[in-house]
Amino acid sequence: MFNIIMEAGATTAKGNPIMSILPIVAMFGILYFLMIRPQQKKQKETQKMLENLKIHDEVVTAAGIVGKIANFKKERNTVVVKVDDNVKMEFQRQAIVGVLNEIKEEKK
């Protein structure tokens, strides 16, 4: 009689292995759609903005300096920004964080 009770208690319910992996897959899916995908989308938009820069665009740099693009130096991948009448500064292209022309046109 003791063996019958032991055998009844020893049977464990073995679930489907796919169901045990499903929560982990769901967490990675949520992580992808909430964090990774928006970051990739923003990175593509920034790259497109940097590729479409042209002379006389009013830009803002990562340091907060606002000026107009005066020239490009392709060999060094830099942008010359005219800050004032006699002041020109050279920045890496990646230092440009925004084009103010586009922002002003969107508000109109």
* Per-residue pLDDT at 19: 82
Runs of H (alpha helix) within 13-108: 17-31, 37-51, 100-107
pLDDT in tens, the chain (108 residues): 555 555 555 555 567 888 889 989 999 999 999 999 999 999 999 999 999 999 999 999 999 999 999 999 989 999 999 999 999 999 999 999 999 976 666 665
State the Cα–Cα distance between residues 19 and 23, nearest whole angstrom: 8
Say what the pTM is: 0.65
* Per-residue pLDDT at 6: 54
* Per-residue pLDDT at 36: 92
Residue in 50, 75, 48, 72 with CA at minimum distance from that of residue 61: 50
